[in-house]
Each structure stands twice: as C-alpha cells, then as structure tokens.
Amino acid sequence: MTLAAHPNVLLFLWALAQLSTWVLATPQSYAPHLYTRKTTTIISHSSNGSIIVLDPDTEQSIPQGLGTDGGGSGFSAPAIIWIGVFFVIGAPLSVAGIRGWRCTTGVALGLASIVCAWAAIINSVNQTGISDLLLTIIVLAFGFLGVVIGVFEFARISSMAALCISGGLAFGMRIALIKKNLLITPLALNWAVIVVFGVANGLFLIWHRRAAMLIACASTGTFLLSLAVDLIINQQSGLSIGLRSVFDNNDNHVAYFAENSYDPRLSTRVILIVSLGLTPVLAFAQHRMFKAPFIRREPPSDEDLCLNYPTEDNGSYRATVFLSGLWDGAKFKMNANRFSV
C-alpha cells in the first residue's frame, strides 16, 4: 500500500513540512519580545541609557527591580533545592510514572500547585520582591499540600486530569522555548501554542486514559529533567530565564526583561530537543514494562458483594426505614448517619 493511495496522509505531511519551514524561517526580532507584549506600559530611555517604564494612564514612572523567581544565583541553596526536586520527581515520572498510582496522582497535584503558586507570586510582588530562598520555601509548601491532597481517592480523577494537562503544557512549553525570544514574538501566540497541547492531552484522557497518562508521565518527567540538567549546565541564564519570560508579566520587571531577553544557548536547545524526543520513547517503554492498569484496586470480596447485593428479600426492611425517615423529618430530627463518610 503506497502513500499515493492516501492523499490525506500526503496532504498532512505537506502541511507539516510547510509549518516547519515557516517556523525555522521566521526572522528574529532584534528588540526583546517584552516590548511587544507589554502593551499597557510605555518604555523609554533616559539620557544615561537606563530604561524608564511609564504608566500610560498617569504617565508616572513604574518602579523597576530585578524581581525574583526562586532560582537563586549560580549554585546557591535555592538552585540546589530546585535541582534536587526536579531530579527526584522527574526521574521516576519519566521511567515509571504509570506504575506510581497514588504517588503519581499526589505528584501531579503537587506540581500543579507549585506552578500556580510560583506564577502568582512572581506576578504580584513589587520591585523589591522577596528572597529566592523564601519564595522557594513558600512554593514547595504549596506543592507539599497538593501532594497530600492528591494521594486520596477523592482527588484521583482531578489529579489525573491535572497531570495530563501538565504533560501537554510541558511539551508545548519546550517547543516555545527552543527559539530566541520564544517561538513567536507576541507572547499571547506562544501561550496559544502551549495551551493547545495542554488541552489536547487533557481531552485525550477522556477517550484513551492509559495512552494519555503514559504521555503525561513521560512528558512531565522529561521536562523536569531538562530543567535540572539545564540548571546545572547553564544555571540561571538558560531555561530559568526562559520560563520567567513566559510566566512573568509583572510591570515591575519590564526593564529587567528588556535588558535580559531570552536567548538560549546551543546546549539549552539540545537539551530541549533531546527531552522532546525522549518523551514518546519513554512513554512506549513504560507501556511495555508496566502492563498493569494505572488504577490498582483489589477486586471486591464475597462479603462486599453480599453486602452491596443482598440475596434475601428485604423489602419490608426498606419500607420500615423509609417510613422512619419520613417521621424523623416531620419532627425535624437529624439523621446521625446522613453526613457520614
């Protein structure tokens, strides 16, 4: 069977080739991408060359600072903590996430909590900011709370959905971070690309649960490992500033990003490409190594089956309970077992 018999396949391959050509041929913007995304501020230069950011409504200068992302500098304590966290979580997810069950669901909700808390803090601090160590402790505390909640049965479905969405977002995030000043100059279009991957894998969970979970575990794990390796090699000048360029929309940090635009080194791009390539490989490897389903529940015992599906006729008992409930309701008497777990 040849490809000529499938014109749709040929059309898809042609469209994919055109898209890749367009992406690689897109000219780089010489101005930092922050200028195009900060439409609510006015950026000018003083006589000494420093950047001044003005509020368009009041025309008053907005105080600028370096901001904080919790990554520290060099191999400081916050940086070492994050490297350890990325390795401890990323390695098991990459090679055995589908086998983790409760551990995987706990980590999924913990990672979602970390990302949300981190993004909220860096976008809400003033020009002074807070110390990297304090930010790291606060964010990891939120992550620990998410892990505790995620291991329980009531959070299983939401944790699985969070992991699948996170896996898709992690894949799209790496695509956006490959090029200088992100994949596309306007930040909103980069987020559109990232969100498409997240939503796609989240919806994939509805129809193909195991495949979606395999992709999510491998994608999230390899993304965390790429962050850890890049922190070791390039420290805070690699993916660290790239993630801040995507998430940080704080008006107090405009001048910092205007002077420090995201320009990944060759090593950073290699790390991203390798991690993207390893994602389907590790997902398939987990599928072959771990045949058991993600949800591991023991089959119900005979006692449970008899309790849930009694064989004797208890119609008279049900009628008595029903009438008793009506009488208690008429007397405004609260049933003690009504709100039991």
pLDDT digits (tens, 9 = 90+) for 233-291: 998 888 988 898 888 888 777 777 777 788 899 999 999 999 999 999 999 999 999 88
Structure tokens at 16: 């994919």
Percentage of the chain beyond pLDDT 90 is 40
144-170: average pLDDT: 92
- Rounded to two decimals, the pTM is 0.73
Within 10 Å of residue 232's Cβ, how many Cβ atoms? 15
Confidence of residue 317 (pLDDT cuts 50, 70, 90): low
Phi, psi of 43 (to 5 degrees): -110, 125
pLDDT (0 to 100) of residue 125: 84
pLDDT (0 to 100) of residue 339: 38
User: Quick check: 121 pLDDT over 60?
Assistant: yes
Question: b/e per residue, 260-279, with b = 16+ CB within 10 A?
Answer: bbbebeeebeebbeebbebb
- Give tens-digit pLDDT for 42-90: 565 555 556 677 666 666 777 777 777 788 888 889 999 999 999 999 9
Residues in the chain: 341
Q: How far apart are CA 32 and CA 26, in angstroms?
A: 15
| Residue with the larger pLDDT of the pair 332 and 64 | 64
pLDDT (0 to 100) of residue 194: 93
Confidence of residue 1 (pLDDT cuts 50, 70, 90): very low
Tell me the three state secondary structure of residue 202: helix
Percentage of the chain beyond pLDDT 70 is 69
